[in-house]
Amino acid sequence: ALVARAPAGPGSGLGAAASAALARSLRRRWRATGVLHSLSSRCEPRLLLLRSAATVAPSSADSANATAATSTEATAAAKPEGAAVSSADSPGTGEKKEEKPEKKPMGWGMFMVYVSGGIGGLTFLYYFYKANYSLHKTEILMLEAFRQLPLYSPPGPSTAELNSRLDGTDLPQDLVQGLAEWFVAIDLQEPGGVSRDDVLELMGEFGFGEEEKPAKDFLFRGEGQIEERRRLTCAGLQETVTLVTDLVANEAKKIEKEKNEVPDPDFPEPPRKIPKSMPEMVTVLEAKLKRTSFSMNSTERRAQIYLSMEYIASCLRATLEVAGAITNLHRQLLADRQEADMLVQQSLNRLEARLGTCEQAQGRCERRLAELAGVTRDLGD
């Protein structure tokens, strides 16, 4: 009825036979799905027909396509209900298959990822086998191996090494070594160590006066308020080397200044004391070391020191043995004294017991004497 009421024209795209076949197909499908009962009578026939035609078959502009659709619907109508297949449901034979995307070649980034993963896996398996298949030991071994990798800069010098360094770049090496040997020798001999007065005395032997500015600064850095107290304070080896360096530099400045100045013939300057040269300073230090009978490079001196240390060690062992014997004797005397005190206490206890017994016997004797006196008096009466 809907198809009959719909106007057939060139705009509709359907012929009379096609309209009849379409109506039959629509009736079958609507009966199967129950759509026919849900449609409202007020629906516009033309709109309903166009929507149904759009869901069943694609619109066509020519009658040839409509005839093909009619034959397809007629063939589908001959089949049982529920098995009808429309031309729109089955794919056409002329459709092309979807082309698969081509695989791109692997880049260097993915290649490095695979290589790193393989190396990491082999490393883990090696340490896992080495740790007897223990995950905890494997972790420890891998951490130790990772810490041995050169990822950090090596540690610097220790504090002891920094404190033991001597900054004597402006002085010859033999002079610095001589100063160090002299300083150690005096430090071992003197109970209070090397004092600033000893250093200034050595500078005087080198030809430098105490009125020099570096010498005054060196003395001023000592502890105390008065000069005598500062002279007795201890000095360091680096301070001594620095003092010699400053005095040598100050002397070089004075010589340069004298070269640039023009002497005045009317007022001549008094002659100045010229300090010793570097080799002469080394000679002075060697002479002082010989006088102190100490040399850091002497094998005999080292042997004597070793023998002295052995003798001191033997004396200490003997002293410890004597101290142990004295301790044992003291313990024995203490035990004897305790035993004697215990015996005296026991004797006193026995004496007190006997005195108590004697007092009791005395009381009995006095009572007997009183009884005898009474009996004698009765006999006399």
The Cα 124–Cα 117 span in angstroms is 11
Note the pLDDT of residue 152: 72
For the chain, give the percent of residues with pLDDT over 90. 9
Distances (CA, A) of 324 to 88, 310, 321, 329, 364: 119, 21, 5, 9, 60
Note the pLDDT of residue 32: 59
Q: What is the pTM of this model?
A: 0.40
Note the pLDDT of residue 4: 45
Out of 114-128, 155-169, 262-276, give the one with best mean pLDDT. 114-128
Note the pLDDT of residue 97: 54
Out of 258-262, 279-283, 294-298, give the one with best mean pLDDT. 279-283
Q: What six digits make up the tokens of 307?
A: 């023998």
Overall average pLDDT of the 242-268 stretch: 82
Residue-averaged pLDDT of the chain: 76
Does residue 315 carry a pLDDT above 60?
A: yes
Among the listed residues 290, 207, 291, the one whose alpha carbon sits nearest the alpha carbon of residue 250: 207
Q: Give the tens place of pLDDT for each residue, 17-68.
A: 666 777 777 777 666 555 444 444 444 444 444 444 444 444 444 444 444 4
Does residue 368 carry a pLDDT above 50?
A: yes
Overall average pLDDT of the 289-294 stretch: 69
The Cα 123–Cα 142 span in angstroms is 9
* Amino acid identity, position 210: E
CB atoms within 10 A of CB 289: 20
The Cα 190–Cα 233 span in angstroms is 13
Does residue 187 carry a pLDDT above 70?
A: yes
Q: What six digits make up the tokens of 247?
A: 């005095």
Note the pLDDT of residue 129: 92
Note the pLDDT of residue 68: 45
Distances (CA, A) of 140 to 134, 200, 364: 10, 60, 97
Note the pLDDT of residue 83: 39
pLDDT band with cut points at 50, 70 and 90 for residue 154: confident
Q: Are 73 and 21 in contact (CB under 8 A)?
A: yes
DSSP assigned state of 168: -
Higher-confidence position of 240 and 1: 240
Overall average pLDDT of the 214-229 stretch: 88
Q: What six digits make up the tokens of 58?
A: 């694609």
Stretch among 138-142, 243-247, 288-292, 341-345 having the lowest mean pLDDT: 288-292
Overall average pLDDT of the 190-195 stretch: 84
Does residue 236 carry a pLDDT above 70?
A: yes
* Amino acid identity, position 381: D
* Amino acid identity, position 315: C
Q: Are 199 and 240 in contact (CB under 8 A)?
A: yes
Q: Are 196 and 237 in contact (CB under 8 A)?
A: no
The Cα 18–Cα 73 span in angstroms is 9
Q: Give the tens place of pLDDT for each residue, 76-107.
A: 444 444 433 344 444 444 445 566 677 777 78
Overall average pLDDT of the 231-235 stretch: 89
Does residue 351 carry a pLDDT above 60?
A: yes
List, in order, residues 6 or more apart from 14 with CB less than 8 Å away: 8, 22, 53, 66
Note the pLDDT of residue 313: 87
Taking 3-state DSSP, the helix, strand and coil percentages for the chain, each rounded to the nearest 5, stand at 65, 0, 35
Note the pLDDT of residue 173: 87
For the chain, give the percent of residues with pLDDT over 70. 71
Overall average pLDDT of the 330-336 stretch: 90
